[in-house]
């Protein structure tokens, strides 16, 4: 069957291709060689491979799968999500302008702020879940890049990607979407008009909290894309063969994991919403969530595995609940099979994040066990 005709589950279950012709293995081999031989006439034995900085079969296989999942024209893997983000922003010229959603992944905001200062790039931050505000700020002056994140981490805001694409067009900018918290299973930003989609593959795409990685996928081949590909090859921010192989292995179960995590998250959000010790639950699957209708339109198969819970009381009460959890590990990150809890204010005290907020990254455990753990931690 032509991979282009496969449904995502089928494509992913066999990620990395069919039978390895050399060994007959049903999984791809790992080729760690950094360099590749030439024949007596000095032609590469394999025309695709001369040196591993830019030529790695496992990286190409993983890129192909991710590209097809997002319906893009090309994909590029990077050693981390941040390296992917940085590669895209480096295409913005000195003195340029970018529009960036406020209240997103703190590592992204921090890096972009510092980068823009170094490059004399104007950076306008805006709550992009407010379409009017986004339109207004885009219309103010020409820009090179509009950056949004949906659902956003840890505020769980939903951005109307089709409307953001229109807004970006009015100022001549590319729209890039960090879709890490949605995964390629639940959302398809390129189909809604985004120019570039980015994932931290460290999170649910690999899914086992054991490989760092990031990916950019473009809707169209264009000069900015060649610039990124060229810079990756020359500057060398590449993923290694072992990481790419592990990523392919992790991706094979992506749809199953996402399905289970979304079901768990929905059950947990519903439970917490009614809990007397909980002030609020931010989860797009709840009808009380301000972005629920939009998320229902824009996502399919679930609302993700990330939520924020505001514990009644303040910092002490929230930290007490986190401290009493037994199944949830107290650690940063999301998208792994194991559930995690994080007191975000400890990590980003200057961003206006509520002191009583706990971010939950729901895993694939039994939802009853997770709910029981939350119940004992919250007390009655």
Among candidate residues 105, 271, 283, 303, the one labeled active-site is 105
Structure tokens at 366: 């039994």
Q: Which residues, 6+ apart, have CB-to-CB distance to 225 below 8 Å?
A: 74, 218
| 80 is an interface residue for ligand PLP by CB under 6 A | yes
Tell me if residue 278 falls in helix, strand or coil. strand
212 to 41, 134, 313, 360: CA distances (angstroms): 40, 32, 36, 20
Asked whether position 82 contacts ligand PLP by CB under 6 A, the answer is yes
| Spatial separation of the C-alpha atoms in residues 283 and 25, rounded to whole Å | 42
- DSSP sequence for 187-242: --GGGGT-SEEEEETTTTTT-SS----EEEEESS--HHHHHHHHHHHHH-----HH
Residue in 135, 157, 203, 249 annotated catalytic: 203
Which of 49, 183, 200, 209 contacts ligand PLP by CB under 6 A? 200
Q: Tell me if residue 53 is catalytic.
A: yes
The verdict on whether 105 is a catalytic residue reads yes
User: What whole-number distance in Å separates Cα of residue 56 and Cα of residue 248?
Assistant: 13
Q: Contacts with ligand PLP: how many residues (CB under 6 A)?
A: 17
Residue whose C-alpha is closest to residue 339's, from 371, 377, 311, 312 = 371
The site string for ligand PLP over 163-182 (x = CB under 6 A, - otherwise) reads ---------------x-xx-
Q: Which is nearer to ligand PLP, 55 or 213 (CB)?
A: 213
Kindly state whether residue 202 participates in binding ligand PLP, applying the rule CB under 6 A.
Answer: yes
Give yes or no for residue 8 binding ligand PLP (CB under 6 A): no
Question: Among residue numbers 275 through 304, which ones bind ligand PLP (CB under 6 A)?
Answer: none
Site for ligand PLP in 303-362 (CB under 6 A): 334
Q: Three-class SS of residue 153?
A: coil
**Site for ligand PLP (CB under 6 A): which residue of 150, 153, 206, 364?**
153
Q: Contact with ligand PLP (CB under 6 A): which of 17, 29, 107, 313?
A: 107
Residues 353/379, Cβ–Cβ less than 8 Å: no
For ligand PLP, the closer of residues 100 and 278 by Cβ is 100
Judged by CB under 6 A, the stretch of 27-35, 104-112, 321-329, 358-366 that binds ligand PLP is 104-112
**Alpha-carbon radius of gyration of the chain:** 21
Q: Which residues are catalytic?
A: 53, 105, 178, 203
Site residues (CB under 6 A) for ligand PLP? Answer: 80-82, 105, 107-108, 149, 153, 178, 180-181, 200, 202-203, 212, 214, 334
């Amino acid at each position: 069957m032509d991979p282009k005709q496969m449904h995502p589950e089928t494509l992913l279950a066999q990620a990395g291709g069919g039978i390895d012709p050399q060994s007959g293995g049903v999984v791809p081999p790992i080729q760690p060689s950094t360099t590749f031989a030439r024949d007596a006439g000095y032609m590469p034995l394999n025309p695709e491979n001369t040196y591993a900085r830019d030529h790695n079969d496992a990286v190409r296989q993983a890129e192909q799968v991710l590209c097809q999942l997002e319906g893009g024209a090309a994909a590029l893997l990077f050693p981390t999500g941040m390296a992917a983000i940085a590669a895209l922003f480096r295409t913005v010229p000195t003195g340029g302008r970018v529009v960036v959603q406020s209240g997103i992944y703190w590592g992204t905001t921090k890096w972009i702020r510092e980068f823009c200062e170094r490059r004399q790039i104007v950076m306008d931050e805006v709550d992009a879940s407010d379409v009017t505000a986004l339109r207004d700020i885009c219309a103010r002056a020409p820009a090179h890049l509009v950056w949004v994140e949906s659902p956003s981490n840890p505020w769980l805001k939903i951005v109307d990607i089709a409307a953001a694409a229109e807004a970006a067009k009015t100022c001549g900018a590319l729209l890039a979407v960090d879709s890490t918290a949605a995964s390629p299973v639940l959302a398809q930003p390129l189909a809604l008009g985004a120019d570039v989609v980015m994932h931290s593959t460290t999170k649910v795409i690999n899914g086992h909290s054991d490989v760092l990685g990031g990916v950019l996928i473009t809707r169209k081949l264009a000069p900015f894309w060649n610039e990124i590909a060229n810079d990756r090859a020359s500057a060398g921010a590449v993923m290694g063969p072992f990481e790419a192989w592990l990523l392919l292995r992790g991706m094979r179960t992506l749809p199953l994991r996402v399905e289970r995590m979304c079901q768990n998250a929905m059950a947990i959000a519903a439970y917490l919403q009614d809990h007397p010790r909980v002030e609020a639950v931010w989860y797009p699957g709840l009808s009380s969530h301000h972005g629920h209708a939009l998320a229902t339109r824009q996502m399919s198969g679930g609302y993700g595995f990330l939520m924020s819970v505001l514990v009644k009381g303040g910092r002490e009460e929230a930290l007490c609940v986190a401290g009493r959890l037994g199944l949830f590990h107290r650690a940063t990150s999301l998208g792994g099979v194991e559930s995690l809890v994080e007191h975000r204010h400890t990590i980003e005290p200057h961003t206006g994040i509520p002191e009583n907020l706990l971010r939950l990254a729901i895993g694939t455990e039994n939802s009853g066990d997770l709910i029981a753990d939350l119940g004992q931690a919250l007390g009655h």
